[in-house]
Amino acid sequence: MKKCLLWYLLLFVLVPCIFGLAVALFNRSGENENKNENEVVLVNLDDEDKANLDDDDEDKDKKKAVIVKLNEANFDAETKTGVVLVDFYADWCGPCRQLAPILETLTDVKVGKVDVDVEQKLALEYNVSSIPLLVFLKDGEEQSRLVGVHSKEKIQKVIDDLKD
């Protein structure tokens, strides 16, 4: 019976864990090699895509989001007035990378980005247990938070409600 249990542990617990760790390390090591900061990607837009780009008339009178990298030194100064959306993220987090372009399209808000791997004290202060975490501050006080990836409309609605 003990041999069966040992084989079970080896086969179904240890081997998948080791395999998963190896895959994760392989993927992280390849990330930096494939980055080319000077790379330009050309995209051909058809007429429908160009029309969709021009359909954002309601957002033309609003200011695009200002994105600021936050750390312990500048956090209080950057968040003490107005509505600020603080994005707690990590570079290795897939959902965080999925959320980033959505945050860039928001309007009438300052977006502060906090890398939880670098700014661990801020992450502890705001009880970050899952990422991405969006914390909505108004005049330095937390008003709301969202965990995970959400639509632009949902995030913008929370911002607009805080502005009123």
Which domains are delineated in the chain? 64-163 (3.40.30.10)
Say what the pLDDT of residue 49 is: 52
Q: Which residues pair with 147 in a beta bridge?
A: 133
Q: For residue 153, is pLDDT > 50?
A: yes
**Alpha-carbon separation of residue 144 from 15, 24, 136, 140 (angstroms):** 42, 33, 5, 12
User: Is residue 79 within 8 Å of residue 112, measured between CB atoms?
Assistant: yes
Per-residue model confidence as pLDDT tens digits over 21-66 = 555 555 555 544 444 444 444 445 555 554 554 545 554 557 788 8
Interaxial angle between packed helices 152-163 and 94-104, expressed in degrees from 0 to 180 and rounded to the nearest 10 = 60
Distance CA(117)–CA(89), nearest Å, equals 8
**Residue range 123-138: average pLDDT?**
96
Say what the pLDDT of residue 158 is: 95
Which structure tokens are listed for 51? 């029309």
Per-residue model confidence as pLDDT tens digits over 77-126 = 999 999 999 999 999 999 999 999 999 999 889 999 999 999 999 999 99
Distance CA(30)–CA(24), nearest Å, equals 10
SS3 17: helix
Q: Beta strand 110-115 with 83-89: parallel, antiparallel or unpaired?
A: parallel
Say what the pLDDT of residue 65 is: 84
Buried b (16+ CB within 10 A) or exposed e, 33-60: eeeeeeeeeeeeeeeeeeeeeeeeeeee
Which residue numbers are catalytic? 93, 96
Say what the pLDDT of residue 63 is: 78
Q: For residue 138, is pLDDT > 60?
A: yes
Distance CA(111)–CA(104), nearest Å, equals 8
